[in-house]
Amino acid sequence: MIYFTDHDIDRLIEDDVPMGDMTSLLLQLNSSDGSISIAARHPMVVCCTEEAKRIYEKAGLTVTQMLPSGTYLQPGEVFITAQGKADAIHLIWRTGGTLMEYASGVATRTRLLIEKAKPFNEKISVAGTRKHPPFLKKVALKGLLAGGGVPHRTGLSDTILIFREHLCFVGGYDNLPAVISQVRNQQKERKIVVEAHNEDDALKAAHAGADALQLDKLSPETLTSIALKSRAINPHICILAAGGVNAENAAAYAKAGADALVSSWMYFGPPADIQVKIDVTEK
């Protein structure tokens, strides 16, 4: 459950309508009543309907139906309906819509990645990185979770991930035994993940005691080789395929032996396409 504060919801509305909806105001839509109904235009995992509901309610609408985030929809399936003042509908129509479109796009692509990879490794997991567009970490993560993925790391504060760019300050891959030992002495409750860009560095990390290897932009073939050799060193080691992982190569990486696919591919791409219907409520 990703928690959106009231302020998050308000910010979305205010961002789009800082000083009122000029068009509805001039058309005096506050004297009419209507309804809004939103449906999928293509198969999709819907996401952020809970937040759209809150947006609608803040505008004074009554939400009459809603499917929860994570629901898989067929084209034409309606996932949220509401009714109320016509000016309130116009106030939040697009704000709710763009939120659900973006989040559902992320969710749907996450699900696609999983569908591509699972046939080749039933236990594989799809982890979304922190490289989402700026300012929308919660939306990106909610989409990821709705699609069946998990967070890789939500930011710098939660896991230990040693990059090549860290190691350049502390002796490089050759010094990993000392580095890992020092880190483990201080912090025992978290795994130590080491990023590697080639087989040589990856095996150094495995030998030095890394709990997981994050293999960046390596081919599935190289990944297979590293997985084999590093598991010989430590059968519990976790192999993460990262860097350019997407729907086209997910199967190959799964087949190659990755325990998890680490990707930001799901965050970028077209928003889910939704169909909005606004109707007059006859009095």
Residues 39-68 that bind its own copies (CB under 8 A): 59
Show the tokens assigned to 229: 């050799």
Binding status of residue 98 toward its own copies by CB under 8 A:
yes
Closest CA to 202 of 177, 227, 183, 220: 227
> Measured from the CB of residue 166, what is the shortest distance to its own copies in angstroms?
6
Residue carrying structure tokens 């030992």? 181
Binding status of residue 7 toward its own copies by CB under 8 A:
yes
Out of 41, 75, 76, 190, point to the residue binding its own copies (CB under 8 A): 190
Out of 78, 136, 233, 247, point to the residue binding its own copies (CB under 8 A): 136
Nearer to its own copies (CB atom), residue 232 or residue 280:
280
Binding status of residue 260 toward its own copies by CB under 8 A:
yes
Report the C-alpha gap between 252 and 121 in whole angstroms.
Answer: 10
Binding status of residue 19 toward its own copies by CB under 8 A:
yes
Binding status of residue 235 toward its own copies by CB under 8 A:
no
Binding status of residue 115 toward its own copies by CB under 8 A:
no
Nearer to its own copies (CB atom), residue 248 or residue 279:
279
Out of 75, 191, 200, 248, point to the residue binding its own copies (CB under 8 A): 191
Nearer to its own copies (CB atom), residue 55 or residue 218:
55
Run of H or E including 139: helix 137-146
Binding status of residue 146 toward its own copies by CB under 8 A:
no
Residues 6+ apart with CB under 8 A from 178: 171
Report the C-alpha gap between 201 and 99 in whole angstroms.
Answer: 41
Q: How many CB atoms lie within 10 A of CB 88?
A: 25
Say if residue 122 is exposed, middle or buried (CB neighbours under 10 Å; 0-12, 13-18, 19+): exposed
Binding status of residue 270 toward its own copies by CB under 8 A:
yes
